[in-house]
Structure 1
Amino acid sequence: MSKLLRTTAPPATLLVRLLVGAVFLSEGIQKLLFPDAQGAGRFAMIGIPAPDVVGPFVGRVEIVCGVLLLIGLLTRLAAIPLIIDISVAIVSTKLPILLGHGIWRFSLPKLANYGFWSMAHEARTDFCMLVGSLFLLIVGAGKKWSVDARLTNERVESIAKY
């Protein structure tokens, strides 16, 4: 468990962790507060199976993992479901823009433009969240201002005393 919490990332990692955590937290809250527009209703519209179950589940996962990132607790573990979450979001909502309406299993309302540039524009936030989550999975919470760092530092200090 100590290896999972250990981090050698610079203190500036805090900025990435807070940004990714805050975005996922707010997205999760929106899925629960506005289920027709952001949660189950949106999931049903794009063709996600069992949207009434998946919508609230994804919202709760985003809230819990977002909070874990914000406080820097179990950062690497919290990043894993978020990577899966945002990967599914990219495949289900951005890939149809790239491939065109009606080509993919997931469907979106008709858009004015399809193709690479339209998809790149629509997916810019999703790609940033994916890269941010991957970064946190690789480097951890950061050496400062995280519960993970505090737990590993206390463990190292207690071992050093003996």
Structure 2
Amino acid sequence: MSLVTKAFHSNASAAVILIRAMVGLVFLSEGIQKFLYPEIRGAGRFLKIGLPSPEFLSYFVASFEIVCGILIVLGLFTRLAVLPTITIMLVAIFSTKIPMLPEDGFWSMAHAARTDFSMLLGSIYLLIVGAGPLSIDAVLFWKKSRQQTKT
């Protein structure tokens, strides 16, 4: 089995489609909202939390959220698509949630970060297990891997 085939192969159950739907649709929705409501979800939010080049960065992140969200929902290049989502969530946690700890305390931070942690862990899960059998990855790569193991 080639390295590429291994990267897209998955032994996950068909139920992984639920995790793909949760992670992918949340990222898709959040990316779209950064374009629709830039003052509160996009550049305005990025400016408020002190990120550099907030206008460029918000559209850059939103584009990744939309593209990766769609790829995750479809189960296409899933393991590659979750790499940016993991990065986005780590930046979100470290730039917006961890700074809450000194002033607001752990429980307030934990409450505010619940979606961030869920999206981070869901993305890591998909990185580990792959897209599962109900995915475009399965159609494109599993068939090829089964043929290679037969020869």
Compute the TM-score of the two structures, normalised by the length of structure 1: 0.87
Using the TM superposition, name which of 81-90 and 147-156 deviates more: 147-156
CA distance, structure 1, for counterparts of residue 108 and residue 145 of structure 2: 50
Q: Partner amino acid for 1:17?
A: R
The answer on whether the counterparts of 2:5 and 2:145 sit within 8 Å (CA) in structure 1 is no
- Comparing both structures, which one devotes a greater share of its residues to helix? 2
Give yes or no for the alignment of 1:125 onto 2:115. Answer: yes
1:3 CA displacement: 1.0
Q: What corresponds to 1:111 in structure 2? A: none
1:47-91 deviation digits (Å, cap 9, x = unpaired):
001101100000000000000001000000000000000110011
Please give the alpha-carbon distance, in whole angstroms, between the structure 2 residues aligned to 1:77 and 1:94. Answer: 26
Residues of 1 paired with 2:127 and 2:149: CA distance?
27
Aligned counterpart for 2:44 among listed residues 41, 48, 58: 41
**Amino acid in structure 1 at the alignment position of 2:17:** L
- Residue number among 124, 129, 152 corresponding to 2:141 in the alignment: 152
The CA distance in 2 between the partners of 1:76 and 1:135, in whole Å, is 10
Q: Which runs of 5+ in 1 are unaligned?
A: 101-113
Shift of residue 32, structure 1, vs aligned partner: 1.0
User: For residue 95 of structure 1, what is the aligned residue in structure 2?
Assistant: 98
The Cα RMSD (Å) is: 1.2
**Matched residues in 1 for 2:5 and 2:14: separation?**
19
**Residue 64 of structure 2 aligns with which residue?**
61
Q: Distance in 1 between matches of 2:123 and 2:149?
A: 32
CA distance, structure 1, for counterparts of residue 116 and residue 150 of structure 2: 45
Question: Any unmatched runs of 5+ in structure 2?
Answer: none
TM-score relative to the length of structure 2: 0.94
- Give the drift of 1:33: 1.1
Q: CA deviation at 1:157?
A: 4.2
- State the Cα distance separating 1:152 from its structure 2 match: 2.0
- The answer as to 2:14 corresponding to 1:25 is no
**Deviation above 4 Å: which 4+ runs of structure 1?**
none
Q: Give the structure with higher Rg (CA).
A: 1
Give the Cα separation in 1 of the matches to 2:6 and 2:148. 15
Q: Deviations over 1:97-153 (max 9, x none)?
A: 1122xxxxxxxxxxxxx000100111111100000000001110012x101111122
User: What is the CA-CA distance between 1:96 and the residue it aligns to?
Assistant: 1.4
